[in-house]
């Protein structure tokens, strides 16, 4: 189905198969592409994009951190995303915004500050034969031997392709050990995050998650903390010791594709009663929010209008 998709590229709309760059381009060979992945959802008010404003804000923050320049304004990217969704006629799926250097380059320094910009939209059910996230049965995690990138080595809050080798290695190691996901500790030994997921723990009736500074400023993470506050769940952000992974009453992962993914096993520890009450409550709340039925969070959605 990919061949039927339409792609936004630098102000034009082109066929999927035309959205290419040379293998020797800087962003391919040096990993300098920056990106955002957004959820497109069917709500009771029609197709809508989850927190488009926050994703665009983070895209510009990433460019600033890496001394890059996006070629169009925030408003223009907003319109490009909306137009790409409408041209593809999809009501649910994922949107990916990619900023990249297409120029062939041998130097480690990019050939220029200004990026090219592209927008893709896909429906996993049509384009990937579906994506299986075990949101009901729960997932399994282990502690990876790979540590999260240190913020004194690279700007870890930048959503840039090169940084994701770190998460890829953690996920790959986990799969080789018979687990589905790997959790990285930071370089000081505190809990950080998964390969592409934030992590939440519940202990003593409190929701806990690693504080910003050594983890990505995830928009799903932010949304979960705001949603938890709205229903009176006490949340703690901090430097969490790894022993909590063996003591927590509940553990779940979060990310754009699945929002809340309960953990049923951590290393050799089976977490009984998964998903637990806090996980179920937050999952149900996010389900209501995603469906557009919770008026408190209606402003998180950007309707795709005809």
Percent of the residues in the chain that have a pLDDT greater than 90, as a whole number: 92
Angle at 292 between CA 39 and CA 210, to 5 degrees: 55
Say which CATH number the domain at 167 has: 3.20.10.10
Mean pLDDT of the 30-42 span = 97
Give yes or no: residues 180 and 91 share one domain.
no
Residue 252 belongs to a domain: yes
pLDDT at 125: 87
In this structure, the answer to whether residues 214 and 158 fall within a common structural domain is yes
- The answer on 152 and 106 residing in a single domain is no
For 205, phi then psi, to 5°, come to 60, 30
Burial tier of 29 (Cβ tally within 10 Å: 0-12, 13-18, 19+): middle
Instruction: For residues 106 and 213, state if they share a domain.
Output: no
If asked whether residues 82 and 26 sit together in one domain, one would say yes
Check whether residue 42 and residue 179 sit in a common domain.
no
Are 26 and 164 members of one domain?
no
Strands (E), the chain: 6-9, 12-15, 34-43, 46-50, 93-100, 116-122, 139-143, 181-185, 191-194, 198-203, 206-210, 235-238, 250-254, 261-266, 269-270, 301-303
Number of domains in the chain: 2
Mean pLDDT, the chain, whole residue set: 95
Q: What is the pLDDT of residue 305?
A: 84
303 in any annotated domain: no
pLDDT above 70 for 264? yes
Query: Please, are residues 40 and 93 in contact by the beta-carbon 8 Å criterion?
Result: yes
Per residue in 210-240, pLDDT (tens digit) is 999 999 999 999 999 999 999 999 999 999 9
- Whether the upstream peptide bond of residue 275 has omega within 30° of 0, thus cis, is yes
**Which residue range forms the structural domain that includes residue 50?**
2-127
Q: What is the pLDDT of residue 2?
A: 82
Contacts of 75 (CB under 8 A, 6+ apart): none
Query: Same domain for 212 and 100?
Result: no
Task: Give residue 271's pLDDT.
Answer: 97
Which region, left, alpha or beta, applies to residue 67 given φ > 0 means left and ψ of -120 to 50 means alpha?
Answer: left
Mean pLDDT value across residues 74-81: 98
Q: Are residues 248 and 151 in the same domain?
A: yes
Last residue of a domain, one of 66, 92, 127: 127
C-alpha triplet 120, 183, 285: angle, nearest 5°: 65
Model confidence band, residue 141 (pLDDT cutoffs 50, 70, 90): very high
Strands 198-203 and 191-194: unpaired
Residue 210 covered by a domain: yes
Residues 98 and 7 in one domain: yes
CATH no. for residue 110?
Answer: 3.30.470.10
| pLDDT-based confidence at residue 129 (cuts at 50, 70, 90) | confident
Residue 168 shares a structural domain with residue 265 = yes
Q: What Cα–Cα distance (Å) separates residue 183 from each residue in 133, 168, 173, 221?
A: 17, 11, 10, 16
| Residues 279, 273: Cα–Cα separation, whole Å | 11
Q: Which residues pair with 47 in a beta bridge?
A: 42
* Same domain as 155, residue 123: no
Q: Residue 114 carries which DSSP code? A: B
In this prediction, residues 162-190 reach a mean pLDDT of: 98
pLDDT score recorded for residue 290? 94
The answer to whether position 133 is within a domain reads no
Give me the mean pLDDT over the 178-201 stretch.
97
Give the residue from 4, 87, 98, 93 showing the smallest Cα distance to 49: 93
Q: Look at residue 130 in the predicted model and tell me its pLDDT.
A: 62
């Amino acid at each position: 189905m990919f061949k039927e998709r339409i792609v936004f590229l630098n102000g034009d709309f082109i066929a999927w198969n035309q959205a290419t760059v040379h293998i020797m381009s800087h962003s391919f060979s040096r990993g300098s592409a920056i990106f955002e992945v957004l959820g497109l959802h069917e709500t009771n008010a029609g197709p809508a994009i989850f927190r488009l404003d926050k994703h665009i804000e983070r895209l510009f923050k990433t460019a600033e951190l890496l001394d890059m320049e996006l070629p169009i304004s925030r408003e223009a990217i907003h319109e490009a995303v909306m137009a790409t969704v409408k041209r593809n006629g999809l009501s649910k799926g994922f949107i990916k915004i990619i900023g990249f250097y297409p120029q062939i380059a041998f130097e480690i320094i990019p050939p220029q500050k200004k990026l090219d910009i592209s927008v893709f939209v896909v429906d996993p059910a049509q384009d990937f034969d579906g994506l299986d996230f075990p949101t009901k049965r729960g997932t399994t995690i282990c502690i990876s031997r790979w540590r999260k990138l240190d913020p004194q080595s690279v700007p870890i809050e930048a959503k840039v392709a090169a940084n994701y080798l770190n998460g890829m290695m953690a996920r790959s190691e986990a799969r080789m050990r018979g687990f589905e996901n790997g959790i990285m500790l930071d370089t000081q030994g505190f809990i950080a995050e998964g390969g592409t997921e934030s992590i939440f723990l519940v202990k003593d009736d409190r929701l806990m998650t690693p504080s910003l500074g050594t983890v990505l400023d995830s928009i799903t993470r932010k949304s979960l903390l705001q949603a938890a506050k709205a229903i009176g769940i006490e949340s703690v952000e901090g430097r969490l010791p790894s022993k909590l992974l063996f003591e927590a009453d509940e553990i779940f992962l979060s990310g754009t594709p699945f929002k809340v993914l309960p953990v049923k096993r951590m290393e050799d520890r089976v977490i009984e009663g998964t998903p637990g009450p806090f996980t179920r409550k937050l999952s149900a709340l996010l389900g209501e929010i995603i469906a557009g039925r919770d008026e408190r969070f209606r402003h998180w959605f950007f309707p795709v209008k005809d």
